[in-house]
A and B are shown apart, each in its own frame.
Chain A
Amino acid sequence: MSSFDVARVRADFPILGREINGHPLVYLDSANTSQKPVQVLDVMRAHAEQHNANVSRSVHTLGTESTAAYEDARAKVATFIGAASPDEVVFTKNSTEALNLVAHSAGEMLGVGPGDEIVISEMEHHSNIVPWQLLCRRTGATLRWFGVTDDGRLDESTLDELVNERTKIVSLVHMSNILGTINDVSRIVARAHQVGALVLLDCSQSVPHLPLSVSALGADFIAFTGHKMVGPTGIGVLWGRGAVLADLPPFLGGGSMIETVTLEHTTFAAPPARFEAGTPPITEAIGLGAAVDYLSAIGMDEIHRHEQEITGYALKTLADLPGVRVFGLGTPEGRGGTVSFDVDGIHPHDVGQILDDLGVQVRVGHHCARPVCARFGVAAMTRASFYLYTTTDEIDALARGIEQVRRVFG
C-alpha cells in the first residue's frame, strides 16, 4: 500500500485553499512555477528573523550561522541529486543563469570557434537556445539541433552525423516543458563523450518530478531551478562534474569568487565559490534546502508514481473529450505530468480565459518553446501541468472547463 496521501500533502500548501472567481482554485500550472508548502515558507521566515547575516565573510555568530545554513542547503541539494560532493553544486539565480554560465565558461574553456559545432534540439526552452545562439554569434561556431518526431520524442535517427568530431557541447532538455516527454539521453550522452564533447542537461522539469541521480544520467552538467520544485524564486542550481568544474573559468566576477586580488591580477577561488560572485540569494538557497527536505520526506518515487497516475487519468479524460487533441505522447510511459493540447482550434488565450473564470489556472501561449509550437504547426498551445498536490477532481474540473470553452466558442 502506498503511503502517499494527496489530501495531507495539500494541507501543507496554504494557497490551495484559495478561491478564484468564486470557484476553488485548480492550479494546473506547476511546470511554470510550483506552489510552496508552509515547511519552506517557515524555514525562510525563521532564517530572516533569527539568523540573517551575509555568508562567508564574517567571524560573528550570525554570519557563522548564516554560512552554515547556506552550506547545509548546498549539501542537501547535492544529496538530493546524488552528486559526489557539495562542491559540485553551484547556486545560481535560476536555470537560465546556470545555462548561460555553461555557455560562457565552457565555451571559453573549450576555445569554441569557427568550424566547431554546438548541438541542441527542437524541444528546448528558449533559455537553452538563446545562450547557444549568442555563443555561436560571439565565436563563429555553428548551432545544430535534433528534430522532434510526430509523437513528440527526440529524433535520434541522425545521431552519429549530428554529434561528430566537430561537436564541442551537446545541451538538451531532460524533460520537455511543453510536451512532457522525458528524454532517454543515454545514447546521446555516450555518443557525445565518444567524440569528446561535453553534455549539459536542462533538468528544470525533471529534477522536481523524478528520482534522479547525476551519476546515472552521465552528463557533465545539469541545470535546474528552485521555484519549480516547491522552493522559492531567485535560486537555481548548476551541477557540474568535479573534474570539469575544476577547469572551468569564471562567469561573473566580483566578491567571494576570488583567491587573491591585486589591481593587476586576480586568482580565482575553487568551485563552487568561483561561480558565485557577489552576495548570493541566501534565504532562497536555504528555502531550496527546505524544499529538498520536503520532497525527500515524501519521497521522489512516491511523487513520481502519483504524477504518473494523474497523468494517465488526464490523458484518458482529454482523449474522451470531443475536439481535444493532445500534442506528444498519449500514455504516461516516457512522459511526465505536463500535457499540452488543442481544443477545436480555439485560440489558447480564449481557452485559458474561460478556464480562469472557473478557477482553473493553465498556461497558454508558446511556453518559451516556440520551435515546438512551430513543429506541430500551431502558434500557441494550452498546457495543464501537475504536481504532487494535483487531484483527479482537478482534472475533472479541467474537463468541465473545456466543455464550457466549446459551448462559448463552438
Chain B
Amino acid sequence: MTGLQGGAVIAALALGLVLSFRASNVINIAHAAVGMYSAYAFYGLRNYDVDSTERGGDLWLPILGAPSKVHILDRPTVAAALSIALLLAAFFGALLYVAVFRPLRNAPPLARVIASLGIFLYLTSTMSLRAKEIGSGAASLKLTSMLPSGVIKIGSAKIPTSAFVLSGFAVVAALLLALAFSYTRFGLATTATAEQEKGAILTGISPHRIGIFNWVLASLLGAGAVILIVGVSGVLVPTETSLLVVPALAAALLGGLDSFAVTTAAGLAIGMTQGSLVWFQLQSKSLPDWLPNNGLSQAVPVIAILVAITWRGSKLPNRAAMIESRLPESPTPRNPVAWSLVMATAAIVALLQLDAQWRLAIVVSTIAGFVGLASVVVTGYVGQISLAQYAFAGVAAFATVKLTKQGLSFPVAPFLAIAITIAIGLLLGLPAVRVRGMTLAVATIAAAVAIEQLVFNSPSLAGLGAIPRPEIFGIDLGFSATGDENFRAAFGIFAVILFVLATLAVANLRRSPTGLRWLAVRGNERAAAAAGIDVTQTKLSAFAVCAALAGTGGALLAYQSPALSAQQFMVVGALAVLALCFLGGIASISGALVAGLLASGGILTQLQGGNTGNASNYQFAISGLMLIAVAILYPDGVVAAVRHSVAKLRRMSTA
C-alpha cells in the first residue's frame, strides 16, 4: 500500500467523520468499524473462485445470537455484492443516527463518546468472533482488488493506478460535498441544524431527515473507502481495520471538523507522510534499531496532529463556550475504610480457598481494577475523557521488565517504572490543558496509538521473557509455580493489598481539597480559575495520579505475565475499561470495581465458567451493547439513575 492510497482512504473516512459531526455534533469513533463490517459483507459475498464451483454469496452478520452468516445468492457479481454491502452500510448509518446519536444530541460529551465506543466494541468483537469462524491463512476471505492494477510512471517514480483512482474518489467526494453544502438547500440546512435545530426547521426541512441523510452519506463513504483499500492492501482484521479511524480523526480535526477541503488535503498529506516515512525508515541506516518497523510512519503523523490541536486549543474555554459539560454525579465516598476491609478480606479468603483458575481471575480483575481507578480519577473526577490508561500500564510494565533486565531488583525496578510512567502521564496530560471533551478523547487515543507504535512494538522490547520473582522480607511473591500451586496466592494477596491501599488513597483524594479542586475544574474551568485554582496544575495532578494508578497495575502485570506483548496494552482495552467504569459509575470508586469484576478473563469470566478463548470477544460485544443502551437511557450514568430512583421511592413512601 503506498502513501497515496492510504492517504485517500484516510481522507474519505475523515470526510465521513466531518459529515456526521456536522449533522449531530458527534465524533464517531466507530466510523471505520462500520466500514470494516461492510468489507466483511462484501468480501464474504464475493468469497468464491470464478474457476471453481464454489458458491460464495454468504453474508456474514454482526448480530450476537443470530446465525453468523446467511446464504443469500449464488456467485454474486461485484456489482451485486457491492450493492448489498453498501445498502447494509447505509442502513447502519441510518440506524446509528436514529437509534443512538439523535437521542444523544443534547447529552453530555462523555455519553456520546461512550456510545460510539460501545458501537466500536460491539462491531469489532462480533466480527472478531466471525473472523475466527472464517479462519486465517488459506481459509480466510479472498481479498481481491477491484481497482486497476497497473502503474503510472511520473519521472522516475512508479505510482500504482489504483492510488490515482482512490485519491480521485476522495477528492471528488470532497468536491461534491463542498458544492452540495454551499449551494443546495439540504447542505445549508445541515449547517443550520449544527448551529441550532430551530434554524433547520426554518429552512423547511426536518432536522431528522437531514441527520439521516448525512449519516447515510458518511457511512457509504466510509464503507466504499474501506472496501476498496482492503482489496488493495489484502488486510482485513476487525480491530486493526477499525482503527483506521485514528489517522482519519487526525485529518478531520485538522480540518476543524468543518472544512471538507482541508480535511481531504490533511488526509492525503498524512497518508503520504506515512508512505515516505516507511520508505525513509527502510532506507536509513542511521536510525536506531529499537525503532519498530512501521513505528515512525504510524506515530509521527499522530504526534504532529497532537501537537497541532494542542497548540490550537486554549487554556480556558471562552465566555461564549461556557456550556454546561455535565458529568455523572460524584458522591462523596462513605466509610471507605470499612468497605476496603470487607473487600480485602473477601478477596484474600477467596485467594486462599479457591483453585488456580480462580486465583488467576482475581489477579486479572485486580489489575484491571487499577486501570479502572485511573479512569475514575482522570475522567470521573476531573472530567478529562482519557483513553490512554492502558498505554500508561504498558509503559510501567515494559519499564519494569526492562529495568529488571538491566539489573535493578524488586521493588526498585517497579518504583522507578511507575515514576517514569508518571512522567509520561504528565506529558500526555499536556493536550488536556488546552483541548476538552470529545477532542481530548481523540487526542488521548492518538497518544496511546503513538506509544503503542513507537514503544510497545519496539524490537528491543520483544521477547524479553519473564523476570525474577519479586520477594519482600524473604517472602516469595512470585506468581507462577508448578502444577496446582500455579498462580500463587501470595502474589494475589500482595496485589489485593496494593489495590485496597490505592482505593483508599483515591477515596482520600476525592474527599480532600485536591478532590474538591478536581471537581471544581471538571464543573467549570473559568470559575475555577477565578477562584484561584491553577487549572493546568490541577489537570496535570490528575494525570499524574492516573498514570501512577495505571502504572501500578502495569507493574503488577510485569510480574504476573510470563511474557509481555504489545497486544496486552492496545487502546481497545482502554476503551473497554472506560466503558465498564461508566456502567459502574465513572465518578465513583464503584466504577473501578465494576471494571475489575467485568474485565475479560476476570472474576465474571470465571463465574461464567472460565476463559474459553472466545469469552473476551463475547464479553466485549455484550458490554458494547450495554454501553450503547446505558448511554442512551442514562446519559448521566447508571449510579445517578439509581440514586434518583431511590430518592423517588423515598419520596413516594413518605408521601
Chain A complexes with chain B: no
Please report B residues at the A interface, Cβ cutoff 8 Å.
none
Write the residues of chain A forming the contact surface with B, with a CB cutoff of 8 angstroms: none
